Amino acid sequence: MFRNALVAVAIAVSIAVPASVIAADDGRSNAANAFNPAISLIVSGQYSHQQLDPQDYRIGGFIPGGDEVGPGARGFNIGESELTLSANIDPYLSGYFVLSVSGENTVSVEEGVIQNAGLVPGVSLKFGRMLSAFGYLNEQHAHAWDFTDAPLVHQAFFGGKLQEDGLQVRWLAPTPLFVELGAETGRGAGFPGSERNTNSLNSTMAFLHVGDDIGLSSSYRIGGSYRRTQALNRPYEDLNSTGAAVNNAFTGDSTMWGLDLVWKWSPNGNVVDRNLKLVAEYMHRTEDGTLSFNTTGMGSSGAYRSSQSGWYVQAAYQFMPRWRVGLRQDRLDSGRPVFGLNLVRPGGPTVADFPGLAPNRPQRVTAMIDFSPSEFSRFRVQVARDEARSGAPDNQWNLQYLMSLGTHGAHKF
């Protein structure tokens, strides 16, 4: 089943879009069909009810980063929509471009990738802007998630999504067991890195995946990832001990490693009637450098170090055609940050001036049920008890819809 899934993905990528129309016998091209990419549009939206104000949302104990943290706005709102164009470029290269439109009417390039596979046996290469291969879930677009939002560890460590402008290489070993080695490098400008205005590469990553079938009904994949990047004056907002807003900034190294497991089951490999998908990820991050307090005022700076971790376990079970239920548990541990003497000192800032970094152990429990009238549409109800903030828990429920218009390639295993 595992090998069949990989083959299906490879076939879908290769035939998702026909190549440019071949010139006619007389040497003239068919101008009307010269540009013929596959086009797909994912439209999503939701109604959200939240007990606490989402504008005040912050994961306690972690330096915030990115704009994709939290449960989103209350009430009816359009979700993230994705417009994808993909095509074969020539016998050697193919490409795809994913444009993301948020509910706040902001437009961004989520992915813009050129890739090659087959030139060197077992080796695939892609470059451009991509979703990083760190872990399992990060490479998947939001519409392919089993829940409406990302796990807490992704929100805390990646700011929602970890993107990379750079280069990725994968090598598939010629063995009966699925073994894949990969490396990734690039600008590292996204959280937890930052823009550095330099020609040098700012991130390096390596990953390993191992998987196989277990009988006719089960398959698995185990992965490990390691990534290192740097931040230069990466800003964040906090409140000092008097409750006044201050601007702080971190400069230094950010190192992450993670483990992931995916296990799938369906009777005799038939996923139509019943199937079960179990996913678990654990991540650990160390940040070591300098923290600047109140950068827009008479602040100070000094050494800073944190060691933080997080994990989630989730399961999605299709108990009959078109219907699924799911359950997810999230946990984080912010650890206890270490402040240098030059940063926290008598007559200057104290630990109380960094309330957002106070030790915390955020957690969340989420349940969902969804119904898919066809492979092109899905409706989902999700409820969660979110205890990520340093304070009262937030009870949330969401009604989400996902609609797929046009040709769409196969999703990853």
Domains and CATH numbers, the chain: 2-406 (2.40.160.10)
Read off the pLDDT of each residue in 213-220 and give the average, rounded to a whole number: 94
The pLDDT of residue 27 is: 40
pTM tops 0.75: yes
228-256 average pLDDT score: 94
CA distance 383 to 366: 6
| Local structure of residue 360 (DSSP, 8 states) | -
Q: What is the mean pLDDT of residues 167-195?
A: 95
pLDDT band at 68 (very low <50, low <70, confident <90, very high): low
> 229, 166 in Cβ contact below 8 A?
no
Tokens standing for residue 48? 């959200």
CA-CA distance, 320 to 173, in Å (whole number)? 37
CB atoms within 10 A of CB 12: 14
Overall average pLDDT of the 340-363 stretch: 91
Report DSSP letters for 344-366, one per residue.
Answer: S-TTS--GGG-GGGS----EEEE
- Rounded average pLDDT over 163-181: 96
Determine the pLDDT at residue 225. Answer: 98
Percent of the residues in the chain that have a pLDDT greater than 70, as a whole number: 90
Mean pLDDT for 310-322 is 97
| Residue 23 binned pLDDT confidence (cut-offs 50, 70, 90) | very low
Share of the chain above pLDDT 90, in %: 73
Closest C-alpha among 163, 130, 260, 145 to residue 208:
260
